[in-house]
Amino acid sequence: MNLFKAKMMRFVIRLIMRICWWGKRPTKHSEGLVSAKRTEETIAVNNGCIRAFVYTPTAPAPRPIIVYYHGGGFVVGDIDAYDPVCRDICEKSGCLVVSIDYRLAPEYTCPTAADDSLAGLEWVMAYGQKLGGDPTRIFVAGDSAGGNLAAVTALQARDQFPETIKGQILIYPVTDHYSAETASYSENATGQGLTRNQMIWFWDQYLPSKLPKHDLATPLTLSNHTDLPPALVITAELDPLRDEGNAYAEKLLNSQVDVQDSMYRGEQHGFFGSFGPGKAHQKALSEIVTWIEKQSDKQR
C-alpha cells in the first residue's frame, strides 16, 4: 500500500512541477540567456547504478560545480521533474550543475539516499574537471529532503574528503525527525506546500524503524558540526520545516561555521523548486548566485 501511494505521489508531483514551470522558464528570447546543455551520466553505487544530469553553462571553463539533490521527502521527485530548476540554476549562476537521481523510499530506506548522495559527490570529484568544472570549487545544494542530503553529504565529506566541499546551500532543509515537534510543525501543520501529516508519512517510509535519530538522516542531532564548509540556509516562514532549518543554521554558527541565514517571509515550503520561477524563487536564486560568487572568490 505504501509503495502504491508513493508511486501515485511521484506521478502527481511530476505533473504539478511540469505545469508550474511550463512556459515560465526564462528563454534566450526573453532574457538573453542560452539554454544550458544537458547530458545524462551513470554513476555506480552500492548494489546498482543511478542516473545524473550534467548541465553545462555557456560560461567559460573551469566553472564552479554545484552537486544538486532534489526535494521530495525522500519518497518522491526525480531529476526529470527538477530539470527546469537545475537549468535555471545553471544558466543564472554560470556553474556546472550535476543533479543526482538518488534512490527513493520506501523501496530504498535510509541510508541508501545518503550513500547515493556521497557517491554522486565522489563521481564529481573524479570527473568534474573533464566536464569543464573546477574541482577546487565544489558546492553541494538541495531543497527539502535534498537539503538534508546536502547537509549529510557535507558532514560525510568533512570526515572522508576534508576541504573538498567549499559551501553547502540548504534550501528549507529537513534536519530532524518529526518527533522533535517544533513550533512550526504545529503552526504550519496544514501548509500548502507541505503538511505535518505528509512529513510524518515521508519519515516513516525513509526510517521504517521509526527511530527518531540516525547519523545519516538527522544532521541536527549530531554532536559535532565543527570544520564544516560555509553554509547558506534558506527557510520559509509558513513551512513546517522552518524551525529545524533555523536551528541547524544556529548550530552551525555555534560551531564556528560561516553561515548566511535567510528566512523568506510569507512563503510556503516548495517556493524554490515546486511552484515555478516566481518572484521568491528568483530572489532566492539571486541570493544563491551572489553567495556562490563570494565563496568562489575566496578560493582564487
DSSP 219: G
Least confident of 76-80, 120-124, 152-156, 260-264: 76-80
d(CA 286, CA 282): 6
Q: What confidence tens digit (pLDDT) does each residue in 80-105 have?
A: 999 999 999 999 999 999 999 999 99
CB count in 10 Å sphere of residue 139 = 27
Q: Has residue 218 got a pLDDT over 80?
A: yes
pLDDT at position 177, please?
Answer: 96
Residues 6+ away with beta carbon under 8 Å from 239 = 172, 184, 188, 191, 193, 194, 245, 267, 268, 269
d(CA 16, CA 124): 30
pLDDT at position 30, please?
Answer: 36
d(CA 249, CA 232): 8
CATH, residue 168: 3.40.50.1820
Q: Has residue 29 got a pLDDT over 50?
A: no
pLDDT at position 298, please?
Answer: 75
Q: What is the mean pLDDT of residues 221-248?
A: 98
The order of strands in the sheet holding 165-171 is 37-45, 48-56, 96-100, 63-69, 133-143, 165-171, 231-236, 259-264
Contact 203, 96 (CB under 8 A): no
d(CA 146, CA 270): 12
State the amino acid at position 48 in one-letter form: G
Mean pLDDT of the chain: 92
* 3-class secondary-structure state, position 15: helix
Percent of the chain with pLDDT over 90: 80
| Model confidence pTM above 0.85 | yes
Contact 101, 38 (CB under 8 A): no
Cα separation values, 195 from 73, 83, 149, 230, Å:
11, 25, 20, 30
What's the total number of domains in the chain? 1
Q: Has residue 15 got a pLDDT over 80?
A: no
Q: Has residue 285 got a pLDDT over 80?
A: yes
Contact 55, 103 (CB under 8 A): no
Q: Has residue 225 got a pLDDT over 70?
A: yes
CA Rg value for the chain? 17
Which residue shows C-alpha cell 500500500?
A: 1
In degrees rounded to 5, what are phi and psi of residue 59? -60, 145
Cell of 295: 565563496
Catalytic residue among 93, 99, 117, 144: 144
Q: Has residue 6 got a pLDDT over 90?
A: no
d(CA 284, CA 289): 9
Q: What confidence tens digit (pLDDT) does each residue in 144-190 have?
A: 999 999 999 999 999 999 999 999 999 999 999 999 999 999 999 99
Q: Please choose, from the candidates 125, 129, 120, 123, the residue with its C-alpha nearest in 3D space to the C-alpha of residue 62.
A: 129
Percent of the chain with pLDDT over 70: 93
**What residue numbers bound the domain in which 84 lies?**
2-25+33-299
pLDDT at position 1, please?
Answer: 67
In degrees rounded to 5, what are phi and psi of residue 227? 60, 25
Based on the residue annotation, tell me whether 274 is a catalytic residue of this protein: no
